[in-house]
Amino acid sequence: MNQLHALRHSALRNLRGANALAAPLLVIAILALMVLPMPPWLLDTFFTLNIASSLIVMMVAAYMIRPLDFASFPSVLLLTTLMRLSLNVASSRVVLMEGHTGAGAAGAVIEAFGHFLIGGNFAVGLIVFMIIVVINFIVITKGAERMAEVSARFTLDAMPGKQMAVDADLNAGVIDEKEARRRRAEVGEEANFFGSMDGASKFVRGDAIAGILILVINIVGGLAVGMLQHGLSASQAADSYILLAVGDALVAQIPALLISVAAAMVISRVGRESDVGHQIVQQVFSSPRVLALTAAILGLLGMIPGMPHLVFLTIACLIGYAAYAASRKPVADANVAIAPAPPGDVDASWNDLQPVDLLGLELGYRLIALVDKNRNGDLLSRIKAVRRKFAQEVGFLPPAVHVRDNLDLKPGAYRITLRGVVVGEGEAFPGMYMAINPGGITTPLIGTSTRDPAFDLPAQWIEERQKEIAQMAGYTVVDASTVLATHLSHVVQTHAAKLLSRTETQQLVDYIGQHVPKLIEEVVPKLVSIATLQKVLQLLLEESVHIRDMRTIVECLAENAGATDAAELVRHVRIALAPAIVQQIYGPVAELDVMAIEPNLERLLIQALTNPQGPALDPGVADMLVNHAGSLAQQQEEQGLPACLLVPDAIRPTMARLLRRKAPRLHVLAHSEIPENQTIRIGPVIRGATT
């Protein structure tokens, strides 16, 4: 068995080595065609291989799903063009040297093209060749070149918007880091591909021009060689050399035409769900009304006197039958099946009591398609990704999301519920895209103005044809499923403390117990009960502190198990988690930009908030403090800095609760929570009314 595996690995290595040598050997063989004389039978072989390779390339282009499926096409285009030009050089050498001996001097392929396709008449051959060149050069090549230029420009301009869309999906938890890297690489590969196609399209154009010049050179050179070297008359030289030159040109132009068509098909490819043939059949021949009208018009034309009645009426009947067959295809019912109502005479039971969903998502009937896999709905997979990303970042697995339809909602509306209470709602439109303005973009779009439901940014619902324009302008463009998933991710992050029920806490303890069983056995529930642990974790989550480091949390609770107040335990845990909390806010930096409170106001707050018998905080002062802190936090965020307020330890919990409503993204840190290896830099200062 080991020997069999070794032989298999050896064969795979040899195959990879052969594949790596394929391109260099092919280039060497192509260059040899230009330099070395070739016998007619070998020319026939290469001409046949040239036609076969062109057919293969065109078939691959026809059956690909997206342009990147044929990412090697620019290189293939270069090699096939070089191969055709090398064959032209080799065949021209044979035609000029042996053309006086007859039509078979350059091989059977050129002779067949010279006799069978054009009937041995070089005048007809010249006309046919020029028509093919006009079709290839003026129509196909020119159009493909223009499409390549436009596609390359649009693709490069749209790169920033596509990268921002990938970052938005990553931040929303729709995709993980691995998928984000793959998508970023795909965006870069797409830009490189269309940039290469822009240059490679010049190969096709140059090949068409070279075909015309080579034909003229072969005709002039053949007449000169035949008449001056071999003593042939003008008519004899024309019959031999011009016929061979035209046959040689046609042999090269047919593969060139196939490659040009393949290039145009690759560049003009739109859509990623099916190949070109299936797309054309589905979009052109799927409408019974169009087919029926076409059949009726053909039938009327066929009845006009003098028209070929049989042909027109036969084709009209065939198209009419296609229209009838298309109209008989079953149409998928888009309505939502509603369960029949139970009989009225059935007595009530405990089964009629439906438990309240801890986390729910209600959809209007038009959004049902987003969760239907038969209609390419991917919302369920996105919701799974949201839960996975939340668990990886925050530190516990949130409850499953119960998705159900709600016919009381508007068709495109949705609701996010927490314990039966609506905590988020919005509206989405399947098939359309939301273009979110991250700030500072003034380019107008045609669409419906709205607000991003997750972060309340200005946005517009646009149609797919404006997607590229919006991305080039700098908008973050996302589809309806991403809008829902991002909103759900934001709601889950915001209400993390409420999602940590007793059940999730016990599951978290059981999971941590698998990795550090002795620690959990000694602390929970001997020193710290499940209820106390849950309360501590909830207080941490209320201030957006991640609880991934459960080992440190449990160890800290064990050291301070004598404290009975959960708030006091949280204070000790926050100090233990200080490096992680600071890194979560600032990232790996050495200097921390913080907001501070003016000293006089700080002393007033300490007196009012720490002395149980002292005066409470004046409502006017509290209102001024909250408003000023909220405006300064917004200024910090606009400058790209974290909004973080540094306060004394004694008032940190109270200040955090006081500022949470007005500035939910403002972090409040105590002096003891600043790690020793990091320094602080005081920025904006909250001042009192009299200061």
| Residue-by-residue DSSP string for 354-377 | PPPPSEEEEE-GGGGGGG-GGGT-
Do residues 238 and 268 touch, judged by C-beta distance below 8 A? no
pLDDT at 320: 83
The arrangement of strands across the sheet holding 448-451 comes to 448-451, 458-462, 433-436, 476-479
Euclidean distance between the first and the last CA atom of the chain, given in angstroms as a whole number: 86
- The CA distance from 212 to 85, in Å, is 12
Tell me how far CA of residue 530 lies from CA of 501, 505, 520, 521, in angstroms. Answer: 11, 7, 11, 12
The arrangement of strands across the sheet holding 591-597 comes to 667-670, 644-647, 591-597, 679-686
pLDDT at 594: 92
Is residue 22 helix, strand or coil?
A: helix
The CATH label, of 3.40.50.12790, 3.90.79.10, 3.30.70.270, 3.40.640.10, for the domain at 588-691 is 3.40.50.12790
- The CA distance from 165 to 331, in Å, is 34
CATH class of 500-576: mainly alpha
Peptide bond into 675 cis (omega under 30): no
Sequential DSSP letters for 406-462: -TTS-TTEEEEEETTEEEEEEE--TT-EEEE--SS-----SSEEEE-TTT--EEEEE
pTM of the model: 0.56
Fill in the DSSP letter of residue 238. I
The number of angstroms, rounded, from the C-alpha of 7 to the middle of its chain's C-alpha atoms is: 40
- The CA distance from 481 to 379, in Å, is 5
Helix, strand, coil distribution of the chain in percent, nearest 5: 65, 10, 25
Kindly report the three-state secondary structure assignment for every residue of 48-91: HHHHHHHHHHHHHHHHCCCHHHHCCHHHHHHHHHHHHHHHHHHH
The domain spans of the chain are: 1-28, 37-277, 285-327, 355-495, 500-576, 588-691
The alpha helices in 99-176, defined as continuous H runs, are 108-112, 122-134, 142-172
Fill in the DSSP letter of residue 352. G
- CA pseudo-torsion sign 301, 303, 305, 311: positive
Is residue 507 helix, strand or coil?
A: helix
- Give the number of other Cβ atoms within 10 Å of residue 266's Cβ: 31
Stretches where the chain sits below pLDDT 50 are 1-2, 4-5, 7, 11-12, 15-18, 331-341, 690-691
pLDDT at 114: 61
In degrees and rounded to multiples of 5, residue 404 shows phi and psi of: -150, 160
Q: Which CATH superfamily is domain 355-495 in?
A: FHIPEP family, domain 1 (3.40.30.60)
